[in-house]
Amino acid sequence: MRKMMAAVFLSLIFPGLGQFYNKEYKKAIAFIIVDIVFVYVYLKGLMFPLILFHIVAAADAFAAAKDKNSEQEDFLTFQKAVPILGTSVIFITLMIAAPYYFFLKPAEPVASVPQKTRAEMKAAEDKVILHLADKYRHDFYVQSSRYNGEASRYDITVYPKNQQELAFIASYSEKGQSFKDRYMNIRWEKEFDQETSSLLGKGAALSSSIDADEGTQKNLDQLAIPSYEELRLMYAQGYTHEMNIKVKNPESLYPFIIYIKDKKINNPMLKLQLSDRILELNARDIEELQNPSDLKKYIK
């Protein structure tokens, strides 16, 4: 009974293996060839013929094994079964895998990202420039542009006349026919950089991200943009400020942190990138700092 079940199991795994086990070599080769064909049919989306053929092969293997068992005929010995079945499995795998990967494998779906012509890019750039000029009453110039196909959005890097250091991204969405820019933000960030440059210490590099909330943006006069200091005074809770600093010695930044506390910057988030560690502080952490050595407990 054990040998009959072995034949059935082998043919269920792959038709032909059970037939090899029963020493029906010609039939085994035929079953393997037919099953490889059904595997390709399955890969094209039709599973039923493959399942049915596995059942038929298992039934055939069982019937042949039962006859051999009743007639006390020998099955494939273990010493011969291992190399024969092993070679068969390798052959079957190669016969399926090689044609599939080289000829039948469907191409990986590539996101169809629409490309824009230079004329379309120029039209989007002009729209953004006109929008910014009307919004801020300044002349702006295009530095670079790209089209984000997934978001259906043009991202145009622009700068005010004679102020390339204030380059920022202005976006134009095709879907909503809407504009978005970071002109005010980049001005505040540059102002903060200038305010604090002397406090960072040698070798430190600061990058800031200042964002006014929606309510604050509606109240701001776009023709008279307040300085960052004025923003802090006028809308103390209406903005967020994230700071990312690369520094070797965190304790050297203590004067900078004291400055943040003294200026009462709203909800500051400070991330210090050391050579091999990261130090993160939120508003509460900053408020609790009393001396430079306190910074060490935040090192992760």
Asked if residues 53 and 38 have their Cβ atoms less than 8 Å apart, the reply is: yes
**Dist CA 221 CA 231 (whole Å):** 11
Average pLDDT over residues 152-168: 94
The predicted pLDDT at position 182 comes to 93
| Residue 282 burial (CB count, 10 A) | 13
pTM across the whole model = 0.59
Residue 62 has pLDDT above 80, yes or no: no
Poorest-pLDDT segment among 54-63, 87-96, 110-119, 265-274? 87-96
- Which residues pair with residue 239 across a beta bridge? 212
